[in-house]
Amino acid sequence: MEAALQVLVSGLLTGMGYALAAIGMTLILGIGRVLNLAHGGFFALGAYAAFQTTVWGLPAVVGAAPAAAAGVVLGAAVERAAVRPIRTYPLAAAIVLLGVAILAEEGFRLVWGSTYRSVPLRLPPLLIGQVVVSTEQIGGAAIAAVALGALALFLRSRPGLALRAAAADPEIATLSGIDVGRLQTATFGVACGMAAGAGAFLSPLLTVSPTMGRVPLIISIAMVVLGGAGRVWGTLIASLVIGLLSTAVAFYFAAAWSYIFTLLVIIGILVWRRDGALGRAER
Amino acid sequence: MSNRSLAAAPRSAKERPLVTPRQAAWCFAPLILAFVVQDRFTLAVLALAGVQAFFVASWDLLGGVSGQVSLGHALPFGTGAYAAMLLSGWSRWPPAAAVAGGALAGAAAAALQGRLGAHLSRLSLALLTLATAEAARELSGMLELTSQEGTLVGGEGGVPGVLFPWNEATAARIIAAALAVGLIALLRVARSNLGLAMRTVREDDRGAAASGINVVRVRVAAFALAGGVAGLAGGFAAGLVGRATPSMLSLEASLFVLAAAGVGGLGTVIGPATAGYALTAVLQWLDLSGPVRLTIYAVLVIAVGLAAPEGVISIRGLGRWDRWRIRRA
Amino acid sequence: MIRRRSFIEHVFALVAAASLLAVPTLSHGALSPIDIGAILPSTGPFAAGGEAALNALALAADEINADGGVLGHPIRLDSGDTEGRPEIARAEALRLIERDRVWAVIGGYLSEETLLVQEVAATERVLHIVPVAAAMEITDRIARDPQYRYSFRVAYNITQWAELLSDYLLDQHVHTYAFVGAAIQWNQELARDLADRLRDRGISELSRSSYSPTSPVIDPIVIALRTHPPDVVVVGDPGPDSIEFVKLARELGLGSEILSVGGALGDARVARTLPRGAYLTFQAAAWRGLTPQATRYWGAFQNRYHYLPVGYSDTLPHDALIVLAEAARAAHSIDRDRVATALAGGRFPGAAGTYAFDRSHQAMWGEGGLRGVVIAWENGEDHVIFPLRR
């Protein structure tokens, strides 16, 4: 029973970790209408920033804010230079962002080398009843909750609705005097900042290396597409469900199969959901 | 909603030549190269480039012509590789038959992706293809087989089979020949009525259904054909090294074909094939350190994407081509 | 004026003539350099190991050159990036051997890369040393097929890894252990081999779990271990996920000793970031203080790269090159057949011990040869704990 409770808590916290990583992507996919294949690169940027902070003798948490800020600035720059000019070619934009991701990996390799780095876990774990939780995981979950909540509220607020309207119909928005280009740049920047912040917060629980962003990229794409592009609640629920399921499968069945199981669940949900134009028409 | 004017609708297949002489000649360029070059290393690189060109061209039929962007095209490629090795190594099939078996296996694997994804939005389909390929790669890492010599194989070391063709020169030439024939075949498909149906479905699937096209069948057919060619390429890829490995099912492999197709020119088949060939050949042939090579590749992808988002082919104008411009995803 | 200029011109001409005469005598002593091909991953997910290996090889090349090179020939390293893909490894092997005409190749890193490099080296009759890859297939084929007679492995195979681990566990009078690793073939083989050895010696395997190498979910494994904690948890994965495992294990309160096969957990920089708690131990091929050569190597590596070697993915490539050079010296020749014969029959000291090769050209284990060592991390400091007497 105690193990089951621990599995539940661990599963939920893992899910919150996925949600934290995916927030940026859901924003870009929903508003920017582009698949940010460089998302993993920004995540890794945050992790490396946290690592470098610890190299300078400071706690990793101190690096989170500067990491997020760097993410915002670099993200905005990437959007302005590499996405805005080809916004009408979403696939080309995705491919260009893939190029950015590769550049990022080689950049990390150049500065920090290819060997594995570790960010120390500084805070002692918490004991809640019979269940032990890693403080870093709780912290990450809390940050995820706050960020998701803030984003959800924002998207429902007047400026948020205006942003969504501008994204859905840029021609009309421009006619009403809104600088859609600037809005998109800002959104992209904020989303990349969130990815970097996520990387910084989750870094003590991961191993830092130049290609560390690849798996968070896959997971984020999965959570966002499952939850629905731009749907904050959807992303959260998808993340919690997958986090819980993969942990439970790993515990009760076999850990080696957890990733395959997760992939099969994703496939199953997608096939069942039938969200294509044809699928909807036939329902 | 989005802007789908009649002017953007593709014209009938009868109004344009199936394959112009210039295009056909270009398809044979790798074969000429394979005869001109003599040193083993360059020939090995040309063989690899030919395989990649084939692989990228197959993706373009799927992602370019039929508009179904797959992030998991490594699935049919790798399946073809494993099938060819199992058939040649365990069942002792001759190499040609094994590669053909690989093509069939690739077609089946891709058809499965297509069937599962027939009713999905573009984004969901992309995720579905990614997930299926990743699942296959995980599974390939868990394989445990005993080889003919009694050694334990499988897993990350991959599955050994027969090494064919027997030397780099033969390999480069056979692959280049297959590439020429295959590309011409793909071009003909793209210009056939089936290809026309694919493009109609790409532009407007509801409209296509309304005008009597069986959208699901067209979609799955595109997957099956693209998968068959990818499986063939995979069979060759495995034969080149005598081994099928999990890296042939990897996301990196899937993303490379996507990038190369984008660089070449979506929907044109020849553009992506050329881009895949050129990128592989040049980047592998030059003596560059790993990080430098990747950086150059990334910069190229970014530069072409920004300067010519419809692909290099749209600048050079190699004859009249279908332009594929997605207005809204 | 004219007379002075022509006098100066004469002087210049004399000086020029003299220098022309001098040049041949200056170059007479220097022999042509020998190129060694290093085929390792510099990009992709295994670049960490490739980078460590290349660092060590550069150090070994400098050591050899400082010692007069190989029979007077200076050594030059020529590297090729495999990207973690066997077909690229093969193409790079062809480049280095056919185009760059290297004298020997060291590589690949992964087993699948190594198998292909080995094949190319065999057809071209080029000396080939396997630095790290552990798959049995690599040495099985050497025993079976004479075309592989130029290929030698300095790396351990799985049997040897298992032997060291089991010797240590027996020495520590452990009763129970659990095996945790990645769901990859050689981890499974290691787990099986270890269990087979220990079963009849009174040490029982409480559980065997593996996680996905791509997207590992480690919490549940730790939770399961916590319910029935073993004396020792053996972590068979030398990769980055082992670091996550240790962190989670300590966070969630698993008190067992964690014995790792080394690799990522052998890195002092990583060890310093791990939570203090119960014992963390790991195995390595060599460690400073055990032999003078190892100590020298450790010092040189730290001086040059500012971190301590982890004792496997760097040490063994270093020794691979050292052994090659030693074999050429023993053979008094750089002729490939002579060097191969020397390798097959000789004994060569490296940082990890003395290398002698068996019938399948596998470096042998045992007293007077290679032994391997277990090290403990205590408060970020390393202590050799097994074997205590050498």
Nearest to C43 by CA among A107, B281, A204, B51: A107
Percent of chain C exceeding pLDDT 90 equals 76
Model pLDDT, residue B1 = 39
Chain B residues close to C213, C-beta within 8 Å: 141
CATH topology of domain C34-156+292-355: Rossmann fold (3.40.50)
The single-letter code of the amino acid at C283 is Q
How many CA within 13 A on the CB side of residue B241?
A: 34
Q: How confident is the model at residue B4 (pLDDT cuts 50, 70, 90)?
A: very low
Q: What number is the average pLDDT over the span A220-241?
A: 91
Q: What number is the average pLDDT over the span C34-61?
A: 95
Q: Is B84 on the interface with C (CB under 8 A)?
A: no
Chain A neighbours, 3+ Cβ pairs < 8 A: B, C
Which of A31-45, B147-161, B315-329 has the largest mean confidence?
A31-45
Model pLDDT, residue C27 = 44
| Chain position carrying tokens 């014969």 | C341
Tell which of C79, C88, C95, C99 to mutate to test the B interface (max B CBs under 10 Å): C95
* Residue ranges of domains in chain B, CATH in brackets: 16-316 (1.10.3470)
Are C332 and C71 spatial neighbours (Cβ–Cβ below 8 Å)? yes
Chain B residues close to C115, C-beta within 8 Å: 157, 160, 243
Percent of chain B exceeding pLDDT 70 equals 91
In tens, the pLDDT along B185-239 reads 999 999 899 999 999 999 888 888 888 889 999 999 999 999 999 999 999 999 9
Cβ under 8 Å to A: B residues 74-113:
none
- Distance, in angstroms, between B306 CA and closest chain A CA? 7
Model pLDDT, residue C242 = 96
- When the pLDDT of each residue in chain C is averaged and rounded to a whole number, the result is 90
All residues at 6 or more sequence positions from A123 whose CB lies less than 8 Å from its CB, including other chains: A135, A136, A139
Tell which of A95, A110, A209, A231 to mutate to test the B interface (max B CBs under 10 Å): A95
Residue bearing the bigger pLDDT, A259 or B149: A259
Which of B41, B149, B284 is opposite residue C99, by nearest beta carbon? B41
Give φ, ψ of C341 to 5 degrees: -60, -40
Tell which of A88, A211, A267 to mutate to test the B interface (max B CBs under 10 Å): A267
How many CA within 13 A on the CB side of residue B4?
A: 15
Q: Is B213 on the interface with A (CB under 8 A)?
A: no
pTM of structure: 0.91
All residues at 6 or more sequence positions from A56 whose CB lies less than 8 Å from its CB, including other chains: none
- Distance, in angstroms, between A128 CA and closest chain B CA? 36
Percent of chain A exceeding pLDDT 90 equals 60
Tell which of B159, B247, B285 to mutate to test the C interface (max C CBs under 10 Å): B247
B72's tokens: 């998991």
Residue bearing the bigger pLDDT, B128 or C5: B128
Which of C85, C99, C214 is opposite residue B247, by nearest beta carbon? C85
Chain B residues close to C112, C-beta within 8 Å: 156-158, 243, 245, 247
Q: Is B202 on the interface with C (CB under 8 A)?
A: no
Which of A86, A263, A278 is opposite residue B309, by nearest beta carbon? A86
Confirm or reject CATH 3.10.180.10 for domain C159-284, answering yes or no: no
Model pLDDT, residue C98 = 92
Q: For residues B80, B85, B88 and B93, what is the CA-based torsion angle, rounded to 10 degrees?
A: -20
Q: Look at A5-19, A125-139, C56-70 and tell me which has the smallest mean pLDDT.
A: A125-139
Query: Is A207–C241 a contact, with Cβ atoms under 8 angstroms apart?
Result: yes
Residue A280 pLDDT greater than 60, yes or no: no
Model pLDDT, residue C2 = 41
Query: Is A229–B216 a contact, with Cβ atoms under 8 angstroms apart?
Result: no
Model pLDDT, residue C14 = 63
Which of C209, C243, C250 is opposite residue A255, by nearest beta carbon? C209
Residue C270 pLDDT greater than 70, yes or no: yes
Q: Is A85 on the interface with B (CB under 8 A)?
A: yes
Chain B residues close to A105, C-beta within 8 Å: 294
Model pLDDT, residue A254 = 87
The single-letter code of the amino acid at B83 is A
Query: Is B48–C91 a contact, with Cβ atoms under 8 angstroms apart?
Result: yes
Residue bearing the bigger pLDDT, A229 or C323: C323
Show the beta-strand stretches assigned E in chain C: 34-40, 75-81, 104-107, 127-130, 151-153, 176-182, 204-211, 232-235, 257-260, 280-284, 348-350, 353-355, 373-378, 381-386
Query: Is C115–B137 a contact, with Cβ atoms under 8 angstroms apart?
Result: no
Residue bearing the bigger pLDDT, C231 or A162: C231
Which of B41, B241, B291 is opposite residue C95, by nearest beta carbon? B41
- When the pLDDT of each residue in chain B is averaged and rounded to a whole number, the result is 88
Q: How confident is the model at residue C203 (pLDDT cuts 50, 70, 90)?
A: very high
Residue bearing the bigger pLDDT, B326 or B35: B35
Chain B residues close to A218, C-beta within 8 Å: 130, 134, 251
Cβ under 8 Å to B: A residues 214-243:
214, 218, 221-222, 225-226, 229
- Measure the CA–CA gap between B78 and B63, rounded to whole angstroms: 18
Model pLDDT, residue C9 = 65
Q: What number is the average pLDDT over the span C156-166?
A: 91
In tens, the pLDDT along A151-174 reads 888 888 888 888 888 888 888 888
State the Cα angle at A191 between A188 and A192, rounded to 5°: 85
- Measure the CA–CA gap between B180 and C311, rounded to whole angstroms: 51
The single-letter code of the amino acid at B211 is S
Domain layout of chain A by residue ranges: 16-213
Q: How confident is the model at residue C16 (pLDDT cuts 50, 70, 90)?
A: low
Query: Is B310–A221 a contact, with Cβ atoms under 8 angstroms apart?
Result: no
Minimum CA–CA partner of C310 in chain A: A115
**ipTM score of the complex?**
0.93
Q: Look at A244-253, B85-94, C25-34, C232-241 and tell me which has the smallest mean pLDDT.
A: C25-34
Chain C residues close to B290, C-beta within 8 Å: 41-43, 47, 81, 83
Q: Is B141 on the interface with C (CB under 8 A)?
A: yes
Chain B residues close to A84, C-beta within 8 Å: none
- Distance, in angstroms, between B22 CA and closest chain A CA? 27
In tens, the pLDDT along B49-58 reads 999 999 999 9
In tens, the pLDDT along A233-257 reads 899 999 999 999 999 999 998 888 9
- When the pLDDT of each residue in chain A is averaged and rounded to a whole number, the result is 90
Which of A134, A207, A218 is opposite residue C251, by nearest beta carbon? A134
In tens, the pLDDT along C334-370 reads 999 999 999 999 999 999 999 999 999 999 987 777 8
Query: Is C252–A215 a contact, with Cβ atoms under 8 angstroms apart?
Result: no
Model pLDDT, residue B327 = 35
Model pLDDT, residue A282 = 46
Minimum CA–CA partner of B236 in chain C: C87
Nearest to B65 by CA among B183, B220, B201, B180: B201
Model pLDDT, residue B323 = 44
Q: What number is the average pLDDT over the span C168-190?
A: 92
Instruction: For residue A132, give the H/E element and its range.
Output: strand A131-133
Chain B residues close to C81, C-beta within 8 Å: 289-290, 293
What is the separation of C-alpha B181 from the centre of its chain, rounded to a whole number of angstroms?
14
Are A69 and A193 spatial neighbours (Cβ–Cβ below 8 Å)? yes
Q: What number is the average pLDDT over the span B164-183?
A: 92
Model pLDDT, residue C15 = 61
- Distance, in angstroms, between B176 CA and closest chain C CA? 17
Other beta carbons within 10 Å of A224: 30
In tens, the pLDDT along A166-210 reads 888 888 888 888 888 888 999 999 999 999 999 999 999 899 999
List Cα–Cα distances, C49 to A9, A147, C43, C52, C238, in angstroms: 35, 37, 10, 5, 10
In tens, the pLDDT along C283-317 reads 999 999 888 999 999 999 999 999 999 999 999 99
Q: How confident is the model at residue C186 (pLDDT cuts 50, 70, 90)?
A: confident
